Structure 1
Amino acid sequence: MADQKQQYNLNKLQKRLRRNVGQAIADFNMIEEGDRIMVCLSGGKDSYTMLEILRNLQQSAPVNFSLIAVNLDQKQPGFPGHILPEYLASLGVEYRIVEEDTYSIVKDKIPEGKTTCSLCSRLRRGILYRTATEVGATRIALGHHRDDILQTLFLNMFFGGKLKGMPPKLMSDDGKHMVIRPLAYCREKDIERFAIARGYPIIPCNLCGSQPNLQRQVVGDMLRDWDKRYPGRLETLFRATQNIVPSHLNDGQLFDFVHLQTGSEVIDGGDLAFDRETIPAVPAGWLDELADEQQKLPPYRLDVVEVK
């Protein structure tokens, strides 16, 4: 009976992840007919989950697309280079392992005690763009999820002075590739539970994860604390990134405050700083979870990636 309950919960979790990925793909037109998607596989829980959900959707999607998994072996000491090839071969997935000693470059250029993320990510990004061209990929899929997007939003606000996040779909830095984030609507805690249940052979990043007091870790801890103390807050925050009201911010490039005159059309409710009257009893984003608990299906099919 316990095994049956565990399988039931796993199936429900997989359906939620699959639904969220399918909805994100449809909302942002991430995948089109004939696309060749380079799935960036780090060996972490997020990229393993992304690969499995995309392979699952591939079987029933209304468009044809192919997948190739790519891992960048950065030559970190102790990196178990055999794990990913063995795992991908067991699945029958097309893959490529790219070997580049970025670890030595980062260690040489970054002083001891300083964070390595900035240089490491630039080096990694350039290699992935080059590899995408070599394998003929039309899309580069990264495993960032909803919590990563919120972390980036707060990092940019706290330390960059910008309302800037991590979009689900964006042109690459070199302007030649399209980067997509199929897990954009997925919660990290759902991905973590799914990865544990699946028993993925997780490979920890000894270069990034071992650095203390990273600002992203600090912001991540803040968001996790909010999630525990105020259930539903992260769902509401993420929904806010999809409901931008330029007339009620302070960016003159987005809204023409200069030419706003008395007697003009009232825009977005006028001088209402807080939508107190419209705050729902249930936080935005909880509705899907409540539907799951009541064993109700969402208003769209689980087995279709609707690409417009």
Structure 2
Amino acid sequence: MNRAQEVERSINKTFSKTIWSKFIKGIKTYDLIQEGDKIAVCISGGKDSMLMAKSMQLLQRYSMYPFEVDYLVMDPGYNPINRKRIEDNAQMLDIPIKLFETDIFEVVASVEDNPCYLCAKMRRGYLYKNAKALGCNKIALGHHFDDVIETTLMSLFYASEIRTMMPKLHSQNFEGMELIRPLYMVKEGAIIEWMKHNDLKFIQCACRFTENCVLDEQGGGSKRGEMKALIKKMKKDNPDIDINIFNSTHNVNLDTIQGYRKDGERHSFLEDY
């Protein structure tokens, strides 16, 4: 086997229980892929999106129903070193990427108020636009299990709402387009082990302004780091704390909730009291 085949084989062999089965379970549980889909797998160059790309290649090979995949890389203004590493890794892993350039980093460079949020929003828009131009009806992002539970806690602690990261979403600005998260049930620890097992080196963060920035729909990196540390601390006393957080958003007891929003409209428990 060549290098790409070895890495690919490790996903459904060495990491069958922690990655491959979780990947398949997430797709089936949330009905993420249907026959005839054309999916733009969006690659940032990090460990998560690269694993997602290889997993999608495997799924195409073994799936009982046909679907198409394009591997989309957006350059928001990477420095030459980061861009070359992305291109080299894609070639080594036999991922046929389609790369397009934007000036997002230049645009957000002068923004003082929440530049990470603006950057994430612009990136999402460009991905939808270019995916749609390729004839895709879905984009796939590499958010994983830990992103989901961290987002849930961030919303609770800092946004005064109970909100989570959904496994799939309809685009509000691009009709007929959908966002899916195939790694929804895969834990970050398993992804790191897969990376180390195969001695792979991916970019950590390509942000021009900070090496620790985490770009996501919540718009922040430092708060996400706080959540990671908090969950790690709580797991010492309760090893299932991460699973409990994840499952809680699938098991909301509306009989004990004072209020909620649906389609932008607020509701109170008093309506049915």
Q: Could you state the TM-score of these two structures normalised by the residue count of structure 1?
A: 0.74
How far does the alpha carbon of each residue in 1:11-35 deviate from its partner, in whole angstroms, 9 at most, with x for none? 3423431111111111111101111
Q: How far is 1:235 from its partner? A: 1.0
How far does the alpha carbon of each residue in 1:87-114 deviate from its partner, in whole angstroms, 9 at most, with x for none? 334444332111112111111223xxx6
Q: What is the distance in 1 between the residues matched to 2:198 and 2:12?
A: 9
Q: How far is 1:188 from its partner? A: 0.9
Q: What is the distance in 2 between the residues matched to 1:217 and 1:60?
A: 37
Residue in 2 that maps onto 1:225: 233
Q: Is the 8 A contact 1:34 1:65 kept in 2?
A: yes
Structure 2 letter corresponding to 1:250: Q
Q: Is the 8 A contact 2:70 2:97 kept in 1?
A: yes
Structure-to-structure mapping, 1:1-308, within 5 angstroms: 11-110=13-112, 116-176=115-175, 177-207=177-207, 208-210=210-212, 214-251=222-259, 257-260=270-273
How far does the alpha carbon of each residue in 1:160-186 deviate from its partner, in whole angstroms, 9 at most, with x for none? 111111000111231421100011111
Q: What is the distance in 1 between the residues matched to 2:143 and 2:221?
A: 21
How far does the alpha carbon of each residue in 1:274-294 deviate from its partner, in whole angstroms, 9 at most, with x for none? xxxxxxxxxxxxxxxxxxxxx
Q: Is the 8 A contact 2:152 2:163 kept in 1?
A: yes
SS in structure 2 at match of 1:81: helix
Q: What is the distance in 2 between the residues matched to 1:196 and 1:173?
A: 38
Q: Is the 8 A contact 2:48 2:143 kept in 1?
A: yes
Q: What is the distance in 1 between the residues matched to 2:221 and 2:155?
A: 17
Q: Is the 8 A contact 1:73 1:97 kept in 2?
A: yes
Structure 2 letter corresponding to 1:36: K
Q: What is the distance in 2 between the residues matched to 1:255 and 1:115?
A: 32
Q: How far is 1:152 from its partner? A: 0.9
How far does the alpha carbon of each residue in 1:240-279 deviate from its partner, in whole angstroms, 9 at most, with x for none? 111111112112656754333xxxxxxxxxxxxxxxxxxx
Q: How far is 1:116 from its partner? A: 2.8
Q: What is the distance in 2 between the residues matched to 1:9 and 1:30?
A: 20
Please list every run of 5 or more consecutive structure 2 residues that lacks an aligned counterpart in the other structure: 1-8, 214-219, 261-265
Superposition RMSD on alpha carbons, in Å? 2.5
Structure 1 residues 148, 213: CA separation in 2 closer, same or farther (over 3 Å shift)?
Answer: closer
Q: How far is 1:85 from its partner? A: 2.9
Structure 2 letter corresponding to 1:153: T
Structure 2 letter corresponding to 1:184: Y
SS in structure 1 at match of 2:82: coil
Q: Is the 8 A contact 2:128 2:174 kept in 1?
A: no
Structure 1 residues 162, 132: CA separation in 2 closer, same or farther (over 3 Å shift)?
Answer: same
Q: What is the distance in 1 between the residues matched to 2:74 and 2:253?
A: 40
Structure 1 letter corresponding to 2:163: K
**Which shifted more, 173-182 or 71-80?**
71-80
Say how many residue pairs are matched.
251
Structure 2 letter corresponding to 1:67: V
Structure 1 residues 39, 219: CA separation in 2 closer, same or farther (over 3 Å shift)?
Answer: same
Q: What is the distance in 1 between the residues matched to 2:189 and 2:195?
A: 10
Q: Which has the higher contact order (CA 8 A, sep 6+)?
A: 1
Structure number with larger C-alpha Rg: 1
Q: Is the 8 A contact 1:69 1:96 kept in 2?
A: yes
Q: What is the distance in 1 between the residues matched to 2:95 and 2:226?
A: 36
Q: What is the distance in 2 between the residues matched to 1:9 and 1:25?
A: 16
**Identical columns (%):** 25
Please list every run of 5 or more consecutive structure 1 residues that lacks an aligned counterpart in the other structure: 1-6, 261-308
Q: Is the 8 A contact 1:144 1:183 kept in 2?
A: yes
Q: What is the distance in 1 between the residues matched to 2:205 and 2:99?
A: 16
